[in-house]
Amino acid sequence: MNLAALAGELRPMLQGSVRVNELMSNHTTWRIGGPADIFIDPVGKEDVQRAVRYARVKGIPLTVIGNGSNLLVRDGGIRGMVIKIGRGLSDITVAGNEIKAGAGAMLPELAAAARRAGLGGFEFAAGIPGSLGGAVVMNAGAMNGCVADVLKSVLVLDERNEFVLLSKEELAFSYRSSLLQKKQYICLETSWVGYPKDRAVIEQETRDYLAKRKSLQPQGWPNAGSVFKNPPGDSAGRLIEAAQGKGLRVGDAEVSPKHANWILNLGQATATDVLSLIKQVQHLVQERFGVALHLEVRVLGED
Ligand SMILES: Cc1cc2nc3c(=O)[nH]c(=O)nc-3n(C[C@H](O)[C@H](O)[C@H](O)COP(=O)(O)OP(=O)(O)OC[C@H]3O[C@@H](n4cnc5c(N)ncnc54)[C@H](O)[C@@H]3O)c2cc1C
């Protein structure tokens, strides 16, 4: 595949940018990941549709990302086309109790829009560094709130490359999971419903909540938040800590001494380092407690 030629064909079709051999470490919060062959930052949902159509016609593999805050991209990078749903699809509008937002808007922006409008239910979103699309895929949540509590519907591109509106019920949400992890749909727009709540109360609760997060979470090193899902009725962080996993290190990847479910990139960590550390932690917890830890982060690309 001649990447420069493909990019040359794509550029006139799209409003957004098209890059070749773009390092995914620039697009993941872990700051890890090799190059994507073709990297597209679309502007508007029609751009996404045109890029997907092109990829399908040419038989190019397709990967969609949001803010890369739940992604481990392997060191060999991603073959084919990566579409980042970001600033080009990030408009937010509020009408009554409803908020409509592009899937590239960020959770803290959604929380801020709700706060300004005096709408409750979105407080949990203030501290999570994900796009709305990624948040829907992951059913992101924190502190007793999650996407499924306030989402109304999403507009997606389906497998036929057509725009389809899906209701919350159709998204089959459960803990850190949704239909969009099984279907290759691309989330483009989101609709949410809040409830009237005093602005001063929302502001105070948000401040308290952000302060609590800051005190519990490691600061200063690139990371992807929680690496493992919590097993039913338990906490992955507690299990890893009790199995003496805190501070384990492979290369520049370290299990945070502050929060055992976080792996930090202390500078030059590679995906190989992180994956090797993940295996060690899983082995440790399995040996000690007989519990299998499953990944919350999504692993993409090749070695
Ligand atoms: C410091 C920190 C704190 C965090 N705290 C929390 C927390 O409290 N609670 C929590 O739940 N998570 C937390 N996370 C994890 C992460 O922010 C969430 O999972 C977030 O929802 C991921 O969104 P994203 O846009 O970064 O998605 P990405 O990481 O880019 O992608 C995640 C998955 O969604 C897919 N995807 C992304 N966008 C789309 C789209 N538009 N259409 C289709 N598929 C898409 C990707 O292919 C991938 O499989 C934290 C992460 C960090 C770094």
Structure tokens at 133: 């699309």
| CATH assignment at residue 276 | 3.90.78.10
Which CATH number characterizes residue 60's domain? 3.30.43.10
Q: Which residue's CA lies nearest to atom 19 of ligand 1?
A: 70
φ, ψ of residue 80 to 5 degrees: the values are 90, -145
Q: 130 CA distance to ligand 1 centroid (A)?
A: 5
In terms of domains, do 70 and 109 share one?
Answer: no
Judge contact between 107 and 114, C-beta under 8 A: no
In this structure, the answer to whether residues 71 and 102 fall within a common structural domain is no
| 99 & 206 share domain | yes
Are residues 126 and 79 part of one domain? Answer: no
The answer to whether 22 and 35 have CB atoms below 8 angstroms apart is yes
Taking 50 as the pLDDT cut, the residues of the chain under it are none
165, 54: one domain: no
Out of 89, 90, 107, 128, mutate this one to test ligand 1's pocket (max ligand atoms within 8 Å of CB): namely: 128
Cα–Cα distance, 206 to 244 (Å, whole number) = 33
Domain boundary among 181, 215, 249: 215
Residues 11 and 54 grouped into a single domain: yes
123 with 175, same domain: the answer is yes
**Cα–Cα dist 90/101, whole Å:** 6
State the total domains in the chain. 3
Atom of ligand 1 nearest to the CA of 130: 23
Domain range for 58 is: 3-84
Query: Are residues 73 and 134 located together in one domain of the fold?
Result: no
What pLDDT was estimated at residue 1? 65
Last residue of a domain, one of 45, 60, 84: 84
How far is it, in rounded angstroms, from Cα 279 to Cα 302? Answer: 17
pLDDT for the residue 143: 83
Closest CA to 122 of 30, 203, 243: 203
In this structure, the answer to whether residues 125 and 187 fall within a common structural domain is: yes
Residue-wise pLDDT tens digits, 152-165 = 999 999 999 999 99
Q: What is the pLDDT of residue 289?
A: 97
Say how many Å lie between the CA of residue 139 and the centre of ligand 1: 9
Q: Ligand 1 pocket: which of 70, 107, 176, 221 to mutate (most atoms <8 Å of CB)?
A: 70
Ligand 1: centre distance to CA 12 (Å): 30
**Using one digit for the tens of pLDDT, what is the confidence trace for 98-135?**
999 999 999 999 999 999 999 999 999 999 999 999 99
The pLDDT value recorded for residue 144 is 86
